[in-house]
Amino acid sequence: MARTVLTGQSGSPGAGIGRLLWLGGPLNGAAHPAPRRLGRAAGHDAHGVDPAAEERRLLEALAVAAAELESLARETAERAGPDIGGIFEAQAMFARDPGIVEPAIAAIREGAAAEEAIDRVAAEQAEALAGVDDPYFRERAADLRDVGRRVLDRLMGRSQPDLHHRDGTPAILAAPDVDPSQVAGIRPGLVAGLALAAGAPNGHAAIVARALGIPLVLGLGAALHVGLDRRSVVIDGGAGRLIVDPDPDDRKAATNERPAMAAGAGAPASWSPGAPLPLGIRIEANVGSVAEAEQAAEAGADGIGLVRTELMFLGRTIAPGVNEQRALYRRILDAMGGRPVVFRTLDVGGDKPAGFEPGDPEANPALGVRGIRLGLRRPELLETQLRALLEAAAGRELRVLIPMVSTFEEVRQARTALDRAAAAARTAGADIATEVRFGVMIEVPAAALVVDSLAPEVDFFSIGTNDLVQYTIAADRTNAALADLATPDQPALLRLIGMVCRAAEQFGRPVGVCGEAAADPEIASLLAGLGVTELSVAPRSVARIRAAVATFDPETVRAAAAEALAAPTAARVREIARAGYARTAASVAEG
């Protein structure tokens, strides 16, 4: 067939070769009902369900799941080799493991529905495995969660598409759209990329894909359709292209994708990696996984400005416990070798629904119970995480960042929760962090407007430009049709950032930016001129932004920022940013 190139937007860089697997959709894990959790009385639950019947349902679902997985293991082993087949063989063993089956049956006899029993037992056993600091056990934890989801789907009468080809050929998954939790469930060994008809680069599905290193192309529109199912494709996430029926040159280019820019590439000759940057700016990384933390360290990041902790737990139906969280956070701290790491507490809600927090349907989730609002309404969820963070950082400094802050009262209440978590850890005899730095995110205009009141209560600020522009401009960040509005060069956004920087300076509080704006050299020059001292970007962008910042001339970027604050339009802001960045780069080159 003729080679065809579909062009969309870059969602996550990287290239992959495989066969397209059409999933239909949109995939939406949040739309599924939560597992039944029923009380019982006199041998029956409140709805008259017989425990013996629940036990039979569970055993039948486990047997079917085991048989499906054993068949899949044989098929993939024959076609793709024993390593791929071994993934499903291990899962089949879990479905028959007495260590899983017997506790689930016991839970039913104690009053749980079959759905709740397998959901809870699989989560508890997986957490125990994930809490062991060993890669083998972490892989088995992922397998066990997959088995739990498979059995739960069968019990609840819902079907999920296989996110792989049964013959083991790498799949390029294709769908109209996808939830972040669905992306989190992808097994990289079986999937080489993801192509979507819709989606936005600043949406959380794209952020999860970048965290997992999955190439992603967005916004392909009607050109991506079911008629392409099972066609040979090459995906180029960096260029935003999907090539159908690629030629040999396309395949070679995907195989030999150019490595990331080396540290310091493009910087002036007088500058060397590790040298202080103009205006004392630090280049840090945004991460959502241990792998990304390792990439950040290799890229020479000065630290991690944002750990998106919620991305590690999407797709779960049971909230993660202390042991699993502690082990994961410790690995991230270890990866950075003593460089500062900022952990944002769980920020679920909006386009990041959490299966373990189904809640009531909200007409507008982006304006609903998310971030610290959820944490304060579910104190056990927030304090479990804070305790895990405190224990993970035992003997070290801990930096905690609170998301979606709108009011002074929320800051005070979050600090109180941190104190309670520390007390709980000490009562349990655990060692905790020797020093805690407490920060808040500025992503709601209300917080920016009262930042002078918040500053005495916190140690640092982090501006999330993706959400701040969304709420300031009233433009959904996930709506591709509004992408021209949700941009970092909006005058209103710059004025809010300037307000935050001025108030923070009065109290000696550093200000970082962890949104996509930090990765734009032209906008970054304005941020530096406004007083931002930390730019946190994706690991792959660390070297590029460090090289750009090395060219900043303090007087030039401050003058450009002052001019931009008076600009009436986004187009004019961009003109000023472009001209200022060009001038500062030229002045450094001449010097």
Q: What is the CATH number of the domain that holds 126?
A: 1.10.274.10
pLDDT at 304 over 80: yes
pLDDT category at 357 given cuts 50, 70, 90 is: low
Residue 259's pLDDT is 44
pLDDT at 438 over 90: yes
Peptide bond into 26 cis (omega under 30): yes
Residue 431 lies in a domain: yes
Average pLDDT over residues 317-326: 87
Alpha-carbon distance 577 to 580, whole Å?
A: 5
* Marked catalytic residue, from 164, 165, 204, 501: 204
Tell me which residue of 376, 375, 400, 386 sits closest to 430, measured CA to CA: 386
- The DSSP output letter for 352 is B
Tell me which residue of 529, 345, 320 sits closest to 441, measured CA to CA: 345
Digit-coded pLDDT (tens) for 74-123: 877 776 667 767 877 888 888 899 989 999 999 999 989 999 899 889 88
Average pLDDT over residues 405-434: 98
| 119 and 245 fall within a common domain | no
| 297 and 396 fall within a common domain | yes
Question: Would you say 145 and 118 are in contact if contact means Cβ atoms under 8 Å apart?
Answer: no
Tokens 């899949």, residue located: 72
Alpha helices in 265-398 (DSSP H): 290-298, 322-335, 372-377, 379-392
| 24 and 39 fall within a common domain | no
Residue 261 lies in a domain: no
Question: What tokens were used for 414?
Answer: 């979050």
> Which one has a higher pLDDT value, 1 or 399?
399
pLDDT category at 486 given cuts 50, 70, 90 is: confident
Alpha-carbon distance 190 to 171, whole Å?
A: 6
Residue 129 lies in a domain: yes
Average pLDDT over residues 468-475: 93
| 188 and 306 fall within a common domain | no
Residue 268 lies in a domain: no
Question: Would you say 304 and 329 are in contact if contact means Cβ atoms under 8 Å apart?
Answer: no
Domain boundary among 108, 123, 155: 155
> Which one has a higher pLDDT value, 394 or 313?
394
E strand or H helix at 216: strand 216-218
Residue 30's pLDDT is 40
Q: What is the CATH number of the domain that holds 226?
A: 3.50.30.10
Residue 25's pLDDT is 57
pLDDT category at 32 given cuts 50, 70, 90 is: very low
Q: Is 501 a catalytic residue?
A: no
Residue 75's pLDDT is 74
| 198 and 232 fall within a common domain | yes
Contacts of 419 (CB under 8 A, 6+ apart): none
Tell me which amino acid residue 412 is.
R
| 103 and 211 fall within a common domain | no
Q: What is the pTM of this model?
A: 0.77
pLDDT category at 198 given cuts 50, 70, 90 is: confident
Which percentage of the chain shows pLDDT scores above 70? Answer: 87
| 453 and 557 fall within a common domain | yes
| 394 and 288 fall within a common domain | yes
Residue 353's pLDDT is 62
Question: Would you say 95 and 66 are in contact if contact means Cβ atoms under 8 Å apart?
Answer: yes
Residue 29's pLDDT is 43
Domain boundary among 191, 222, 255: 255
Digit-coded pLDDT (tens) for 231-275: 999 999 989 999 999 999 999 998 876 444 444 444 454 445 556
| 81 and 207 fall within a common domain | no
* Marked catalytic residue, from 164, 165, 501, 514: 514
pLDDT at 590 over 70: no
Question: Would you say 502 and 551 are in contact if contact means Cβ atoms under 8 Å apart?
Answer: no
Alpha-carbon distance 346 to 384, whole Å?
A: 11
Contacts of 67 (CB under 8 A, 6+ apart): none
pLDDT at 315 over 60: yes
| 214 and 314 fall within a common domain | no
pLDDT category at 60 given cuts 50, 70, 90 is: very high
On the 0-12 / 13-18 / 19+ scale of CB atoms within 10 A, 470 is: buried
Residue 31's pLDDT is 40
Mean pLDDT is lowest, of 201-205, 338-342, 402-406, 418-422, for 201-205
Residue 265 lies in a domain: no
Residue 267 lies in a domain: no
**Collapsing DSSP states into helix, strand and coil, what is residue 112?**
coil
Residue 262 lies in a domain: no
E strand or H helix at 206: helix 204-212
Residue 454's pLDDT is 98
Count the domains in the chain: 3
Average pLDDT over residues 10-20: 92
Tell me which residue of 245, 230, 235, 241 sits closest to 23, measured CA to CA: 230
| 330 and 471 fall within a common domain | yes
Q: Is 514 a catalytic residue?
A: yes
Digit-coded pLDDT (tens) for 280-291: 999 999 998 888
Using CA atoms, how far residue 144 sits from 93, 122, 123, 151, 314, in Å, is: 10, 6, 8, 11, 15
Question: What tokens were used for 503?
Answer: 């108030």
Tell me which residue of 151, 145, 171, 146 sits closest to 19, measured CA to CA: 171
Q: What is the CATH number of the domain that holds 510?
A: 3.20.20.60
| 50 and 21 fall within a common domain | no
Alpha-carbon distance 296 to 108, whole Å?
A: 45
Domain that holds residue 246: 4-29+164-255
Mean pLDDT is lowest, of 38-47, 86-95, 127-136, for 38-47
Average pLDDT over residues 347-375: 76
Start-to-end CA distance of the chain, whole Å, equals: 56
Mean pLDDT is lowest, of 142-156, 349-363, 532-546, 554-568, for 349-363
Average pLDDT over residues 12-40: 67
pLDDT category at 212 given cuts 50, 70, 90 is: confident
Using CA atoms, how far residue 249 sits from 3, 256, 257, in Å, is: 12, 10, 12
